[in-house]
Amino acid sequence: MKIQFYHQKNQGNLPTELQNQIISSDKELMDFPWAAEHWQKIFKHFENYCLVLMLDADKLVGFILGSADPDNFHLLKIVVEKNYRRQGLAQKLFDFLIQWQQKEGKKNINLEVRNSNASAIHFYQKNQFLTLHTQAKFYSSGETALIMQRKLDK
């Protein structure tokens, strides 16, 4: 299993094959996947995003996607293939992200999560995220979001 990461400095190098695997994983594994056009916009402006990938040989088995401003990392997606879950892979991806973003001097990791997504909420709580507040009808489905934050500075 190997971890690869992509950010501003090597954003031009995300192979099309990996882009396609990311779109397929999102479609297959997320309850509310992004439209292909949305993914194309992201890949077109990939310099604005950070990506951590987990590969088993050449097969994508998990990823974290987010965007960063000078102080914060905004986590947009964390996904692990079904057959690879509960083996600590999301934890490995997240530990890598934390070390990376701490080195970059970020103060917080911020995210929103659907209040029905118990496994993700459990994962975030285990990783010291606190719920700052909830926002009703945050998603187009009408669902409430938990707005969560993990502080990185000591």
In the complex, what is the shortest distance from the CB of residue 9 to ligand COA, in angstroms, rounded to a whole number? 25
In the complex, what is the shortest distance from the CB of residue 48 to ligand COA, in angstroms, rounded to a whole number? 18
In the complex, what is the shortest distance from the CB of residue 12 to ligand COA, in angstroms, rounded to a whole number? 26
Binding of residue 38 to ligand COA (CB under 6 A): no
β-bridge partners, 150: 109
Residues 83-102 that bind ligand COA (CB under 6 A): 85-91
β-bridge partners, 4: 53
How are the residues of the chain apportioned to helix, strand and coil, as percentages rounded to the nearest 5?
40, 35, 30
* Edge-to-edge strand ranges of the sheet holding 108-114: 2-6, 49-56, 59-68, 72-80, 108-114, 145-151, 130-135
Residues 121-140 that bind ligand COA (CB under 6 A): 122-123, 126
Nearer of residues 77 and 107 to ligand COA, judged by Cβ: 77
Angstrom distance (rounded) from CA 15 to CA 33:
21
Helix 89-103 with 118-126: angle, nearest 10 deg = 50
Binding of residue 147 to ligand COA (CB under 6 A): no
Angstrom distance (rounded) from CA 30 to CA 81:
10
For ligand COA, how many residues bind (rule: CB under 6 A)? 20
In the complex, what is the shortest distance from the CB of residue 57 to ligand COA, in angstroms, rounded to a whole number? 18
* Residues engaged in binding ligand COA (CB under 6 A): 29-30, 77-80, 85-91, 113, 117, 119-120, 122-123, 126
